[in-house]
Chains A and B, each alone.
Chain A
Amino acid sequence: QKEVEQDPGPLSVPEGAIVSLNCTYSNSAFQYFMWYRQYSRKGPELLMYTYSSGNKEDGRFTAQVDKSSKYISLFIRDSQPSDSATYLCAMIGQGAQKLVFGQGTRLTINP
């Protein structure tokens, strides 16, 4: 079993839709959870991170962590064509050095 599972997609939705991206994980030691956005031919860009369970909101983006279910989500409201990218989840335990990444979900927002 992979430590982090993420559906690679591709996921295609119309502009303005609410997008839900998800990852599951197996290691209960993970405490920090991150979402990276990667545009084509670019490096990943840190979008959001959360510590332990709960929600975090930043503009149109909301990150949710449910540690009891070992499940994290990223919601994008009022999606825009500029949101088209690959979204990678990543997580790490307290004091650890190695981030563990999901495979990434390729998202396309259609005008």
Chain B
Amino acid sequence: ETGVTQTPRHLVMGMTNKKSLKCEQHLGHNAMYWYKQSAKKPLELMFVYSLEERVENNSVPSRFSPECPNSSHLFLHLHTLQPEDSALYLCASSQLTSGSNEQFFGPGTRLTVL
């Protein structure tokens, strides 16, 4: 595997379900990110982890819970979601010492909440 991988690629869940999204980066980066991409809106940054410490939480509802067990893995735990949470969830990684903080994205998980 190379780059940034995400599983599952598609997820359909009910409002009472609990599920988790997984992201893995194979680039040796020290920062990882969760973004939400909805139709006709800019990418919304949700969480940032730098050296496995959460450094940003952009007022995201508590029904989204991130976890970063090590520098290569990132999870997004989901519970009691709402239909408006349906979107493409993208994971990205970067090397913070690069100056430009170029971020490399995974393919995303297409989430549908019924």
Q: Chain A interface (Cβ within 8 Å of chain B)?
A: 4, 8, 32, 34, 36, 41-46, 49, 51, 88, 90, 92, 94-99, 101-104
Interface residues on B, range: 20 to 34
Give the Cβ gap from A53 to chain B, nearest Cβ, in Å.
Answer: 15
A32-B105 contact, Cβ under 8 Å, with A43-B90, A97-B31, A102-B42: no
Complex interface bits, B98-112 against A, C-beta within 8 A gives 1, otherwise 0 = 011111111110100
Interface residues of B in 1-57 (CB under 8 A from A): 4, 6, 31, 40-43, 45, 48, 50, 55-56
Residues of A within 8 A of B90 (CB): 43-44
A32-B104 contact, Cβ under 8 Å, with A43-B90, A97-B55, A103-B42: no
CA distance A58 to B32 in the complex (A): 27
Give the Cβ gap from B110 to chain A, nearest Cβ, in Å.
Answer: 7
Q: Is B96 an interface residue (CB 8 A)?
A: yes
Residues of B within 8 A of A104 (CB): 42
CA distance A8 to B41 in the complex (A): 9
Question: Can you spell out 13 A-B residue pairs with CB atoms less than 8 angstroms apart?
Answer: A8-B40, A34-B102, A41-B107, A43-B90, A43-B105, A43-B106, A46-B102, A96-B101, A97-B31, A97-B96, A98-B48, A99-B101, A103-B40
The answer to whether B41 and A94 touch across the interface, beta carbons within 8 angstroms, is no
CA distance A32 to B94 in the complex (A): 14
The answer to whether B42 and A4 touch across the interface, beta carbons within 8 angstroms, is yes
Q: A34-B100, A97-B50, A103-B40 are in contact. List 9 more A-B contacts (CB 8 A).
A: A32-B102, A41-B107, A42-B108, A92-B100, A92-B101, A96-B101, A97-B55, A99-B103, A103-B42
Residues of A within 8 A of B103 (CB): 46, 90, 99
